Amino acid sequence: MLQGIRNASQHWLGKIILTIIFALLIAGVGIFGVEEFFRGGSSNRVATVGSTPITTEQVRQAYQNQLQRYQTQLKRALTPDQARMLGLDRQVMSQLITEAALDQKTHDLGLAVPDASVIRAIHDEKSFQNAQGQFDSQLFYQTLQRAGLNEGMFVREQRSVIARLQLAEAVSSDLHVPGAMREAVHRYTTERRAAAYLMLTPSTAGQIPDPTDEELKTWYEANKSGFRAPEFRSANLLVVDPEAMAKPDAITEADARAAYALNKDRYGSPEKRTIQQIVFPDAAAAEAARKAIEDGSKTFDAVATERGTDEKDLTLGTLTKSELFDKAVADAAFALPEGGVSQPVQGRFGTVLLRVTKIESGTVKPFEQVEGEIRKGLALARARDAMETTRDAIEDQRAGAKPLTDIAAERSLTLVGVKAVDSQGKDPEGRKVADIPDPDTTLPALFRAEIGGDNEPLRTKAGGYVWYDVTNIDPAHDKPLDVVKDGVKAGWTAAEIAKRLQAKGRELAEKLNKGETIEAVAQEVGVNPQEAQDLARNQARDMLTADDVNLIFATPVGKAGSAAAGDSRAVFKVTAATMPAFVADSPSDRQITQSFQAALADDVLSEYIGEVQKNAGVKVDAAALRRALGGEY
């Protein structure tokens, strides 16, 4: 290409063309910037709702969070294809567009959330609280780090979340559930029925003759899927697990004591202080209040009352130093004596005066008492740190075509030999195959792989790795009729019995509808009639299944019907239907109201959000969405 440019530049026409090309290049860089120009001028926005953007990073973060939630619930990893089938991309974009619509509306309405509300919400979040239910700043920062967020980003997001919730509550709270709806629900849930019935058991069908070969073959062909052998696979699994590789005895006492010194708070109860705080608009106001407290003209409580600080906002709580969100406040509070009042402190959300009303001394367990726990923790941490080195070394051996059996023998690692397993983790006898690590992740990978394939190792939940080689594949196949003849005969016989009972049940129901008594038709087939009182929808009773009961509710009073009941069949006649009167504002009515208010609120809020989106306008860049999700969609 460069040679072509040099050749073209020797000709007058080529010089003109090259001048135009380079002029366009310079203009493009000037307009879009170097990076954007060479990316085709693509925008960082995936979508916009009104003037509120949804960025590529927001989409990626939300998608990864949703994917992680699904994988945690399913207890296995999801491939891009599986994620697409579950509609994760659509769920994420719908959620982000909804949030952007509410953000746009809160901006239009001028809604603002004060710092105190944001701090309170963060302190109340269970994910940031320790076992005692108290805010743990270390846990807070660790959680943010794992989520790929910094403090500023998280606080901004929480401010937006609170504003959205306030708007949503204003739109959907205190909704009235119509009386007609409440009465309809009352009728449906409180109606009770009575029925007379009899049960036609398999013996009622009479003697079933043996099927002919042709009948067996026909039934087998129609129900062949029930006699299909699943695909079975054999494999070798090389397992590298950090807990198995951890060697607590290799941890020196010096290392254990150093870890103990760095984490003493973890092995006991740290010092706690009951701290009160008054917030001022500026440092001057705080200093004036401090002087008034010093000279005795005002008390700390009097200053709090003047500032409009109630008891709930005055006392931060009884906290450890690490539980205080603001480092400046924490340092000042833990430097005070009991009963002492601080100098003005410039905190993250304003200037404050602090008072410590109580100090609870901390306690620490001795090293000897926790030495074993420390050694185990350090050994596990080192084993996890060594995982990547071990992985790279095994991958180098795999690249040299060394079998997993040889690698396992050389490194004294666990090798699991799986003789035969189906996709559900069962062997040919239907028993669960043991020793497969993380089966929810490993089994799908085994059934995607090919014999001799170059497979990437799987990461386990414990932080280790699993390498796998498929050694044999026995494809799924239909079992021949000769092999499953007994099962086919049993299935054909059961189908014949059900067919005869269905015909007999229809015949007896017709007789009941023509006026014959339940006793008469029961005597005809040699069974005893039964009575069922106080039947409720969706609830089985005696020999009646829930489906039988629901069919009784679908049948008019005085009429008869028939329904399957396991391997038997029920023939019934509805004898009565009762229903208590609807009483508005009764306990049951209030319960119905409470149950349906949430559903109505969801409907109203959905309609409101849809209207906001319609008025603001929603634009989605499909190409940017594909780029944000790695081109998988």
pLDDT for 609: 84
pLDDT for 4: 43
Q: Where would I find the H helices in 134-178?
A: 137-146, 151-172
Structure tokens given for 249: 């005895």
Structure tokens given for 522: 């029961």
Q: Across-strand partners of 197?
A: 530, 572
Neighbours of 511 (CB within 10 A): 16
The per-residue DSSP string of 31-70 comes to HH-HHHHHTTS--SEEEEETTEEEEHHHHHHHHHHHHHHH
Neighbours of 566 (CB within 10 A): 12
d(CA 270, CA 363): 6
Phi-psi category of 550—alpha, beta or left, where left has phi over 0 and alpha has psi -120 to 50? alpha
268-304 exposure pattern, b = at least 16 Cβ within 10 A, e = fewer: eebebbbbbbbbbeeeeebeebbebbeeeebebeebb
Task: Tell me the whole-structure pTM to 2 decimals.
Answer: 0.50
pLDDT for 148: 66
Whether 117 contacts 125, CB under 8 Å: no
pLDDT for 11: 44
Closest CA relative to residue 517, chosen from 529, 527, 507: 529
* Dihedral angle, C-alpha 622, 625, 627, 628, nearest 10 °: 170
Contacts of 511 (CB under 8 A, 6+ apart): 520, 521
* Dihedral angle, C-alpha 231, 235, 238, 243, nearest 10 °: 40
Question: What type of residue sits at position 6?
Answer: R
Torsion angles phi and psi, residue 237, rounded to 5: -120, 125
d(CA 109, CA 111): 6
Per-residue pLDDT tens for 195-223?
A: 999 999 999 888 999 999 999 999 999 99
Closest CA relative to residue 103, chosen from 530, 532, 612: 612
pLDDT for 357: 92
Secondary structure in 3-state letters for 497-543: HHHHHHHHHHHHHHHHHCCCCHHHHHHHHCCCCEEEEEECCCCCECC
- CA dihedral for 621, 627, 630, 633, sign (positive or negative): positive
Structure tokens given for 59: 């989409």
Torsion angles phi and psi, residue 21, rounded to 5: -60, -50
Q: What is the mean pLDDT of the chain?
A: 84
| Rounded alpha-carbon distances, angstroms, from residue 432 to 277, 424, 470, 531 | 60, 8, 19, 44
Whether 560 contacts 572, CB under 8 Å: yes
Report the chain (633 residues): mean pLDDT per 10 consecutive residues: 42 42 39 38 76 88 84 74 82 87 85 83 84 78 72 81 83 83 91 95 90 92 90 91 79 84 78 90 90 91 87 83 84 92 86 92 83 83 79 87 88 88 91 88 90 85 86 92 91 93 94 94 92 94 93 95 92 94 88 84 84 87 82 48
pLDDT for 104: 85
Torsion angles phi and psi, residue 519, rounded to 5: -65, -40
Whether 77 contacts 67, CB under 8 Å: no
